[in-house]
Amino acid sequence: MSASEATAPVLEVRGLRKAFGGHVVLDNVNLQFQARRVSALIGPNGAGKTTCFNLLTGVLAPDRGEIRYRGQDITHLSPDRRARLGMCRSFQILNLFNDYTVLQNVRVAVPAMRQRGFNLWTPAGAVREAEDKAAAVIRLIDLAGRENVEAKYLSYGQRRLLEIGVALAGEPDLLLMDEPTSGLGGRPLETLRELVQRLSETLTIVVIEHDMSFVLSLSHHISVLHQGVVIAGGPPAAIRENAEVRECYLGTLKYTRRA
């Protein structure tokens, strides 16, 4: 690919503002996410991470500011339009098709399937590309052998992985992950860690995370949100040293204890 493309950010946010009623949740947020990097967005609870994420994915519309994806203004595009542009997301609170098997969950997410969305006749199982793609993803998320188990019968850890898998099946070019590790531990967490590692070689990844160890070990660039404002941004090392960040996190630490 050309050099210009390498430098130009995949996703760029300028002067984003969002208020609910009188309460300003995000103010003048500027962010840039570079290609084939893992960028993390962190911050204490109530910092506005989730709102920011909802703006990026099109669930909410900003009051001000704009969002550009590969130079295209997508500020007012609906979630499905963004997805069709190659922005795929995972959810913090598991959002799977519970009555579907693992295979069905992944398969319905494959673009090849989406393009045939209004095909009323040929059986869904007959869409080869979708089948192959799905199989590949399932191997990737370490669920091979459980293809035909309904999602609702998977263990929590496996559901978490499937959550990512469904997002991946969309053949993303930009992957947005909302707290992928929440409630995760042990083997599944490792699988996820390795997975993200591998993906970062080919994908642009934006992740919102609480689990600092996960973020610090994986991401190339971290932005810190606090009370709706970006207070710091840089490589993990820099962030680890940043006093302001420590301050606000310790603050929240107390805050969380009290809560």
Partner 1 sequence: MRSFLAEWTPLPMLGMFALFLVLPAVLPWIGGYTYLGTEVMIWAIFALGYNLLLGHTGLPGFGHGAFFGLGGYFLGMSQKWVTGGLWLPLLIGTLGAAICGAAVALFVARKRGIYFALLTIAFGTMFWFAVFILDTWTGGEDGLTGIKRLAVGIPGLFQVPLQDNLAFYYFVYALFVVLTVVIYRIVRSPFGQVIQAIKQSESRASALGYDTARYKWAVFTLSCAFAGFAGGLYSLARFGAFPEPMSLHQSGNVVLMCLVGGGFASFYGPVLGVAVFLVLRDLFSTLTDHWMLLYGLLFMAIILFLPEGILGLTQRKRRPAPSRDTGATPPPRGEIAAPGGPR
Continuous H helices in the chain: 3-7, 49-57, 79-84, 102-107, 111-115, 128-140, 156-169, 186-199, 212-218, 236-241, 243-258
| Among 116, 173, 229, 236, interactor with partner 1 by CB under 8 A | 116
Q: In angstroms, rounded to a whole number, what is the distance separating the alpha carbons of residues 140 and 92?
A: 20
Q: In angstroms, rounded to a whole number, what is the distance separating the alpha carbons of residues 226 and 90?
A: 23
Q: In angstroms, rounded to a whole number, what is the distance separating the alpha carbons of residues 137 and 163?
A: 11
Instruction: Give 26 or 47: the residue with its C-beta nearer to partner 1.
Output: 47
Cβ atoms within 10 Å of 187's Cβ, excluding its own: 10
| Among 4, 22, 23, 186, interactor with partner 1 by CB under 8 A | 186
The window from 13-21, 131-139, 152-160, 200-208 that contacts partner 1 (CB under 8 A) reads 152-160
Instruction: Give 64 or 116: the residue with its C-beta nearer to partner 1.
Output: 116
| Among 6, 124, 136, 144, interactor with partner 1 by CB under 8 A | 124
- Check binding of 243 to partner 1 (CB under 8 A): no
Q: Which of residues 58-77 bind partner 1 (CB under 8 A)?
A: 59
Q: In angstroms, rounded to a whole number, what is the distance separating the alpha carbons of residues 118 and 235?
A: 45
Are the C-beta atoms of residues 147 and 102 closer than 8 Å to each other? yes
Instruction: Give 30 or 78: the residue with its C-beta nearer to partner 1.
Output: 78
In the complex, the residues that contact partner 1 under the rule CB under 8 A are 44-45, 57, 59, 78-81, 83-84, 88-89, 91, 95-100, 104, 107-109, 111, 113-114, 116-125, 127, 146, 149, 152-158, 160, 166, 170, 182-189, 210-213, 216, 249, 252-253, 256, 259
